[in-house]
A and B are shown apart, each in its own frame.
Chain A
Amino acid sequence: MFDDRTRPPGTAPDGGQPRSSQAELEFRSLLDAAVDAIVVIDHKGTVEQFSAAAERVFGYAAEEVVGRNVNILMPEPYRSEHDHYLTRYNATREARIIGIGREVRARRKDGGIFPCELAVGQVAGIDPPRFIGFIRDITLRKQAEERLRRSESELRLAQELANLGNYVMHLDGSEPDYYSPQLCRILGIGTLDENVALPTLLQRWVHPSDREKLDEAMWDLNSAQAACDAEYRILRDDGSVRHLHHIAQVTRDPHGAGHKHVGTIHDVTERRQTEDEARQLQERLTHFSRLSTMGEMAAGLAHEINQPLSAIATYAQACQRFLKSPHRDDADILESLEQINAQALRAGEVIRRLRNFVKNREVTREPVDCNRLLDDLRTLAETDARLHNVKLRIEAEPGLPTVYADPIQLQQVVLNLVRNAIDAMSEAPETRREVLLSTRRLPDGEIEIVVSDYGTGLAPEAAEHLFNPFFTTKAGGTGLGLAISRSIVRAHGGRLWHTPNEGVGARFHFTLPVSPAPKGE
């Protein structure tokens, strides 16, 4: 329907010289200056004008496109449908795109498809109508959008997987606060009401035992430090307890305004529970090992309690005889009675130490004097030594600083090493049967406790598996003693190892860090 008379200026299909006029020149300049690609078509879809930007976007030269159906610039299915769209519009004048604009896909000369924003206008006052299309390549924008969308969804997924939520609180009210969906899930609420600030909620829900920790964190955040890193528990509305790891800091924009809190809250409940369970299991195992040690020592303990009882009985019988004797000496009777008293206390002391040792109790940390610890342990250790005709010798370096430890667990370690040493000497000749327990301070400040024996020493193949759980060279052993001893020492920040003794036997060493100087000293 377009013929040469109606053809706009500068678009001669024969490539002939355009008929110049002021308006044509202006139109052409406008066309070529436009950033968006501009394509003008007639009512059948034949291209009349193809701007410089269009040449760049589509990769066609204008003369390759002008006079051809505009559908060569479209991928399927638009390519086949476009003529039909035009026919329908010409028939119904029902605008589906004209004056609306939408995102579509377009096709370059090289066959590449790209996203674009298309706006179509109808040239006014002409019949049959002509249409002018503005095409903007939005590949980069689309890519950026896609990247953003992906990174948002990845962040969301990452937050879900890590059970970590984040928030931004604008303290100056310049922008609405942001709470990530995962944060709301962690807190067990649908969404956070902007009117109820996060700190208020946390203050309301914090576990009573952890209130101080939260207060301290908030104080840190508002102090010069302007940051906090705290772990505390909350009691949620649904009654469940969650362990939260909360990290936050205060930031300002370069002008010093835009005062805001940026923070993450990590739900570490599962990890804490797993750690708790592992710790409880370890404690039960440690206790079990102590019980089993005592079980192995039962004969020796019976002997140890029998000694004072036997002495008491003998003293008492001596007293009776003294009293019946005509030439008695009251001093002997008095001395015997004093001894009866002392021996009764001694028997009680053995039982008290035994009870202390096997009692299942909370693990503690307190300043412990290693030399006193060895002294306390002596009763139990000597019990076993005596039973095996072994001498127990203690060489303590005087004036050692204290270590920060659980005294019963340390006794367990020493007793275990002493028992091993005694067992190692079951075949040793009488003159060698001695266990030496020594303490000293190492140059680096640590305390070292050494248990030396003069027994059979360690076979290389045994030395290799020594610390493996359930490895044992003893008929009735659990194989847990050394494994547990090492884990106890490690939990105290120390090391446990062994060396050959000079000449014969083995030495087991362990170290403990010195406790920090007590306050007020």
Chain B
Amino acid sequence: MIKEIRPTVFVVDDDAAVRDSLRMLLKSVGLPVEVFESGQEFLDAERDDRPGCLVLDIRMPGMSGLELQVKLNERHSILPIIFITGHGDVPMAVEAMQAGAVDFIQKPFRDQDLLDRINQALEKDAGSRRMLAERNMIRKRLESLTPREREVLDLVVAGKANKVIAGDLNLSQRTVEIHRARVMEKMEAHSLAHLVRMVLEVERAEE
């Protein structure tokens, strides 16, 4: 049983008032929130890759929002980032989006606009995490295959018939059928199409 961790909204803003007002707003809608006054403080906090999203001020003394984003990318963080920008920060916002931010919102903003963006970001994060979890699961199943089963799987995914596979591997067709059944079972595949999708999913992620 995997314990469901509630997603948290992380807020990084050097301005105490802006930071605290965001904390209040998120609290008022019952969202867990944690606030940080600098990018470094956020990096230093042990988050264990917890689910959630990051609301990040683009302008800060020391490490700017954009620099924090770069550092998070280097750490392969998947945390979606919503940038808070001021007047005239459009070029910076564009840069942020190119670096993978999900959204940006200009101060001052309507609470609902921010909350909508946060909800979208949390959904995206949940989706990403589901996908990651699924990939990990598929990898685990793949690792449980014997070398022979793996060979059979690769040829099945390549679209080859049992007879062709038997010829390629110098096995009897009956032996191939047994390996194939073991592969379907270990991979928990409902169908051939399902099996192929799982393998491609992992391969695509590893490319």
Contacts and interface: CB of A to CB of B under 8 A. Distances in A.
A385 B29 CA distance: 34
A302 B27 contact: no
Interface residues of A, number: 36
B21 A311 contact: yes
B106 to A, nearest CB: 9
A339 B86 contact: no
B59 A299 contact: no
B62 A389 contact: yes
B61 interface: yes
Contact of B17 (A299, A346, A433): A346
Interface string B78-98: 000000001110000000000
B59 A389 contact: yes
Contacts of B24: 314-315, 318, 332, 335-336, 339
B107 interface: yes
Given A314-B108, A318-B28, A303 B17 contact: no
Contact of A322 (B21, B28, B110): B28
B55 to A, nearest CB: 11
A191 interface: no
B15, B22, B61, B107 interface centre (most CB from chain A within 10 Å): B61
A342 interface: yes
Contacts of B30: 325
B104 to A, nearest CB: 14
B20 A306 contact: no
Contacts of B60: 386, 389
A198 to B, nearest CB: 68
A332 B17 CA distance: 14
Interface string B87-123: 1100000000000000000011111000000000000
A177 to B, nearest CB: 75
Nearest to A346: B17
A314 B87 CA distance: 17
B198 interface: no
A318 B15 CA distance: 18
A321 interface: yes
B86 A315 contact: no
B64 interface: yes
A291 to B, nearest CB: 20
Interface string A31-66: 000000000000000000000000000000000000
Nearest to B28: A321
A390 interface: yes
A236 B14 CA distance: 66
A390 B18 CA distance: 19
B15 A307 contact: yes
A308 interface: yes
B189 interface: no
A197 B65 CA distance: 82
A310 interface: yes
A317, A319, A430, A431 interface centre (most CB from chain B within 10 Å): A317
List of 7 A-B pairs having minimum Cβ-Cβ separation, nearest first: A317-B111, A314-B21, A321-B28, A311-B17, A310-B108, A318-B24, A310-B107
Given A306-B108, A318-B27, 12 more contacts: A302-B86, A302-B87, A303-B86, A306-B87, A306-B107, A310-B108, A313-B109, A339-B17, A339-B24, A389-B67, A392-B61, A433-B62
